[in-house]
Amino acid sequence: MLKMTRKKFEDIAGQAISELPEEFRQKLENIAVTIEDYPSGDILSSLDPRPRKDQLLGIYIGIPYNRRPPYPISGALPERIELYQKNIESICANDDEIREQIKETIIHEVGHYFGLSEETLEDLQDL
């Protein structure tokens, strides 16, 4: 299995965010991108159907942009995209594939941030 340092992985994730189209980046508010080795049991049990620990590449955690109230929510934690480094590494053969998979996963999770369903994202990916 290919391994990358956490720092390099984080740098690639930051670069992927910076390469999103400007109109999307401007609307990303109060969102953090975090890197974990694997999803937690709590994350896995919150999903239906429940994936195996090694299946999930990333997840958006928060209130989708299109479902937020028009007023600020006091005390709200930052929205979050978690990327799962070991899972991404396990399906990639080299650094370029990791870079591409991180970018694809971030785009997918940003789609969830904007309220797009899994089905809509799959349809868009097939275009």
Give the C-alpha distances (Å, rounded to integers) separating 17 from 3, 43, 46, 47, 123.
22, 23, 26, 25, 22
* pLDDT the model gives residue 127: 57
Q: In DSSP terms, which residues pair with 33 in a beta bridge?
A: 81
Q: Is 62 left (phi over 0), alpha (psi -120 to 50) or beta?
A: left
Please count the helices (runs of H) and the strands (runs of E) in the chain: 6, 3
Among 3.65.10.10, 3.30.2010.20, 3.90.1300.10, 1.10.3210.10, what is the CATH number of 6-125? 3.30.2010.20
Using alpha carbons, select from 88, 59, 84 the residue that is nearest to residue 1. Answer: 88
Is pTM beyond 0.85? Reply is yes
Q: What is the pLDDT along the chain (127 residues), one digit of tens a residue?
A: 678 999 999 999 999 989 888 888 888 888 899 999 999 999 999 998 999 999 999 999 998 888 888 877 777 677 899 999 999 999 999 999 999 999 999 999 999 999 988 888 888 766 5
Q: What span, in angstroms and rounded, lies between the C-alpha atoms of 124 and 90?
A: 25
Q: What pLDDT was estimated at residue 39?
A: 97
pLDDT in the model for residue 121: 83
State the Cα–Cα distance between residues 78 and 75, nearest whole angstrom: 9
pLDDT at 12: 93
| Per-residue pLDDT at 46 | 93
